[in-house]
Amino acid sequence: MTAPPVATYWCESLLVDGVVTAGVRLSIGADGRISSRVDDLPAEPGDIRLGTVLPGLANAHSHAFHRALRGRTHDQGGDFWRWRESMYAVALALTPERYLQLARAVFAEMLVSGYTAVGEFHYLHHQADGTPYPQAHAMELALATAAREVGIRLVLLDTSYLAGGLETPLRPEQQGFSDGSAAGWLERWARLRETLAADAAGRPNEPALVTLGAALHSVRAVPRDAMRQILAGLPAEVPLHIHLSEQPQENSDCLAVHGVTPTALLDGLGALTPRLSVVHATHLSDDDLRMLGRTGVSVVMCPSTEADLGDGIGRARELAAAGSPIALGSDQNAVIDPFLEMRGLEMGERLAAGSRGRFTPAALLRAAGADGYAALGLGPARLATGDPADLVEVDAHSIRTLGARPGQLVLAATAADVRRVIVAGRLVADSGRLVGTPAAASAPAGSPAALLRDALDTLDARPSAEAPSPA
């Protein structure tokens, strides 16, 4: 006998893969997945009525703590390497308690902006001098707690970070990122997996929002032999991410040390498989591009960050044509708006190519949604039966969206047009406010801004107006 749904949502219109379907009823099971979908039906009493609905949107690459730098580095000039010094100052100021507050606020901003899932590329593992916190996995558990309290899906991409650069030791400010060796990282990762599983087992009546993935920071920060050991030691089903060729210097350093590009180095290790996602991939050779496409590696682009840091414009259209799915992330969180990331992907292509329509609106939505979910190991996300019940309602009649054709809504809307957000079948945000979660109860009127204000106030060491020059 089929269990009755825990909720039913009726969507006036549902936009998936460029197709607009009217009158869609979604029934949600106790597992937070869609138990049935029926199209072209009128609403019934008891349905929760929604307007224009999109599938859940995935932020496939985030560093939550970078949010503390928003609006604080734009007068410094320079490039990524100079900005990085300010980033280190924030990292050194964080403790598990402070990170819980900050991550809760950042995840809340993501949620009310339309993100239903986030991949947190996390390397703040230990105290500033590299010694473990008294509580095992304190920083990782802070992120998990923040996600659960807000109601967003979290894929914790626990990151190996072992070196300061190719054949370069860690800098003093990087000591807290490292587990000392590949074996040390693998051991901690396995213990963390057991801890998170036990924590989930102790919450049988809550949706399973937190899962564990893995990441190699970059070929700069993980030596080749360490990467080989980690690749051999990770379970095959675990999603794996890595920063790749964000900066030309990474390419030139890798060529000088190994005689190959970062992409070719990964290929030689057997790392280029569909379970891998490479982040940025801004500066690729033609051979690099072909290797990534041939092996079905996902590419996570972060247009707002790549523009903010002056990284450059990646070859997104060519990568997609070669066979690499494109996903999107907010990276440093100078901008948290999935619609602006979608628009940034297409506008970067237009600027580079001198032509419009490089990605269709449907392809942009797939990059922000289904392909992001796939890159995070979350499976299909097209609001079909069995998919996660993650939905985003968008105001199709705002000053920004009025007059837009439904299929082109993603090129007109912004985060300000997000109305209700549903994760695992539960309403967790409504018109910019958190609802129905512990974070909503702790913030005045469910305001993410109140959470952020408190989090920034607790940081004793704030980013200075003048970042030091790179060492």
Residue spans of the chain under pLDDT 50:
461-471
pLDDT at res. 2: 60
pLDDT at res. 464: 46
| Pair of tokens at residue 302 | 């972060």
Q: What is the distance between the alpha carbons of residues 206 and 184, in angstroms, rounded to a whole number?
A: 32
Reported pTM: 0.96
User: CA angle, 265 as apex, 262 and 270 as ends, to 5°?
Assistant: 130
Classify domain 56-380 at the CATH superfamily level.
Answer: Metal-dependent hydrolases (3.20.20.140)
pLDDT at res. 466: 36
Residue 462 burial class via C-beta count within 10 angstroms: exposed 0-12, middle 13-18, buried 19 and up: middle
Active site residues: 280, 331
Does an H or E element contain 122, and which?
Answer: strand 115-122
Q: What are phi and psi of 455, to 5 degrees?
A: -65, -45
**pLDDT digits over 326-383, tens only?**
999 999 999 999 999 999 999 999 999 999 999 999 999 999 999 999 999 999 999 9
Distance of CA 68 to the CA centre of its chain: 17
